Amino acid sequence: MEADRKAMANQVNVPADLPFQSRTTYRIRNKVIYCLDGARIGIQYETFFAGEPCEIFHCVLESKSFLEKMTVIEHTLPFFLPIRELESDLLSSNAIKFIDHLEEILQAYIDRREQVRLIKELYGNQIGELFHSLPYNVIEFALEDFECLPLSSKVTVSIRYSDLLQTLPSQARVLAWPFGSSKRISTRSSSASASQPVPFRLSYAEEALKTMCLPEAYADIVLDLPHALKRIFSSATVTES
């Protein structure tokens, strides 16, 4: 992970042909705007997580004349963020809104990415099968062979961010799979019928994920997990009997 962070930091170094230094500058929150030669503007975006600095990104806007709209001519933003869509939607009509919106998307991406990095760093020995999309707007992982999981059970977590500006998930699904339980459903295929376990939703865990940052939500989920599973499986046993 540290190697990945260093590699990404190298990718966002200021290009040599961007004379950002010794120029008229304006600082607005976590970005610095530079007046470059010609009708060009350079923006330096500074990102943070938990008060600590992360990557610095750059974007250069240019207009051929004062009568023409500005365009993005260079940038060091991650390729999977929708800079061209924002350029088409916002830059032609409102450059300030484009600059501010890009700042919000970058910071939200860093927040989501660093939350995942932190749970891997703190709880990596408890987490298996972790998957995430490039912009970290889809995150999935599983708890397996965890000491509080009875009957060789497994807990799967799936969260979605419907907007790239979000740092808290808009959707969360947490399922407990009681592999050792007798409660099963049958599914028929063309050749034979197979028996599959029925998962139980952990509503308290889903609520935690939607209201707290990922590391805090994870700690809260694990703290209450033994009691939640005991209640669920006890109820299931009573129902089956």
Domains of the chain: 2-111 (3.30.457.50), 124-240 (no CATH)
Is 70 in a helix, a strand, or coil?
coil
Distance CA 116, CA 157 (A): 13
- In contact, 112 and 167? CB cutoff 8 Å: yes
Angle at 235 between CA 143 and CA 231, to 5 degrees: 50
Please, what's the b/e burial string for 137-159 (b: 16 or more CB within 10 A of its CB; e: otherwise)?
bebebbbbebebbeeebbbbbbb
Give the start-end residues of each E strand in 50-116.
52-62, 71-75
- Helix or strand holding residue 134 (H, E): none
Pairing state of beta strands 127-132 and 171-177?
unpaired
Per-residue pLDDT of the chain (241 residues; tens, 9 = 90+): 344 444 444 444 444 444 555 567 888 889 999 988 888 899 999 999 999 999 999 999 998 776 678 899 999 999 999 999 999 999 888 889 999 999 999 999 999 999 999 999 999 888 988 999 999 999 999 987 566 555 557 899 999 999 999 999 999 999 988 765 444 444 444 444 445 668 889 999 999 999 999 999 999 999 988 888 888 767 655 455 4
Phi, psi of 119 (to 5 degrees): -70, -30
Q: pTM to 2 decimals?
A: 0.80
- In contact, 139 and 163? CB cutoff 8 Å: no
